[in-house]
Amino acid sequence: MRLVGTTRTTVALALFAAAAFSSTDSVAEQRPAAAKPVQKQQGEGLFIAWGGDLTLGSSYGNPPDAGRPLLSAVRSALRKADIATLNYEGTFGPGGASKCGAGSENCFAFQAPAGNAKTLRWAGVDVVNHANNHAFDYGAIGWRASRDALKRAKVRATGAPGEIVTVTKKGTKVAFVGFSTYTWSNSMGDFAAVRARIQSAADQADIVVAFFHAGAEGADKTHVPNGPETAFGEYRGDSRRFARTAIDAGADLVLGSGPHVLRGVELYKDRLIAYSLGNLTGWHNFNIGGRTALSALLTVAVAADGRFVAGRIDSLRLDRIGVPHGDPTHAAAVFMRGLSRSDFPGSALRIDRRGLIHRK
């Protein structure tokens, strides 16, 4: 039978709630294995996972075992989603010259060994957003080496100008498009181009997911402002306007990254927007402490027509190295609930202390 309306929402929430934290749970243990009965309903929609910024190594240090310890805590959650997506901050080597010259200030270039890309596939990642400020850390050569490494690892990437990547799961075709404020990606500041790119994606798929990388950076940048943002003298986009423009043009889910801190979520025209999930993981390359130690993994149940059904925020906390661990206090979910209420008071979403997201 087909699940419709409140029935679909109730089932999705029950699946998410079945994975509620106990005091000893890790995120790796608590993603709902019970999602399989819903997966048998072909065309009923998908569970799509989204995490924050990650690197798998850089000149600041390369993790052991090809970076697997960085994603081991979230591997089960990512693998149980129908489609798992992340924002990859940096490049896979070798090749190219670093953008940071000798003595550069506020300049960070990330390049991991090419073999570490396979860890993304091991962790269950299907698609990475590569529209961000670190995709060209080592120029065009480094960008090409990264795409080659991802291809060998069987991980799809999106974000180059004009690039639309499609994945079919459970009889539903999903298009992914990445945007940022940089010339090597689809421009999120050219709103006519945003509309055209999203409309093109909608012509090719049943569901359209728009990634964007934007926003000012820092522990005090947790709120989504009205209007454009800057960081280090750069234009960093108008996140609200972009997200709503994308949905108006046909996007069904908008997933953001960039500020390196958590931000709120909102419901717009029955579509979910997640503005930032902070840092997912790194290895001595992110400043970690206080608010920047809070992270999350978001899983969204999306109906076959693209409408939001329900969601779950799994709270994480990064250690000093940058490795995530499950947080049974749900600090990230509680923090995102407060941000969502403050920044989007008209949004018809309710987030409980465990991180379950549903309509009011």
- Give the span between the Cα atoms of 284 and 282, in whole angstroms: 6
What would the mean pLDDT of 25-43 be, rounded to a whole number? Answer: 37
For 91-106, what is each residue's pLDDT tens digit? 999 989 999 988 788 8
Flag whether pLDDT at 224 surpasses 50. Answer: yes
Supply 349's token pair. 């979403």
ω into residue 161 within 30 of 0, thus cis? no
Proportion of the chain above pLDDT 90, given as a percent: 84
CB count within 10 Å of CB 62 equals: 16
Confidence (pTM): 0.91
Taking the C-alpha atoms of residue 80 and residue 318, their distance in angstroms, rounded to an integer, is 22
Closest to 177 (Cα-Cα) out of 166, 192, 193, 168:
166
pLDDT at 5 over 60: no
Contact in structure between 265 and 340 (CB atoms under 8 Å): yes
Q: Which residues contact 189 (CB under 8 A, 6 or more apart)?
A: 181, 235, 237, 238, 242
The full set of domains in the chain, from first to last, is 5-95+110-359 (3.60.21.10)
Each residue's pLDDT tens digit, 263-284: 999 999 999 999 999 999 999 9
Identify the weakest region by mean pLDDT among 94-98, 165-169, 332-336, 337-341: 94-98
CA–CA gap between residue 248 and residue 194 (Å, rounded): 10
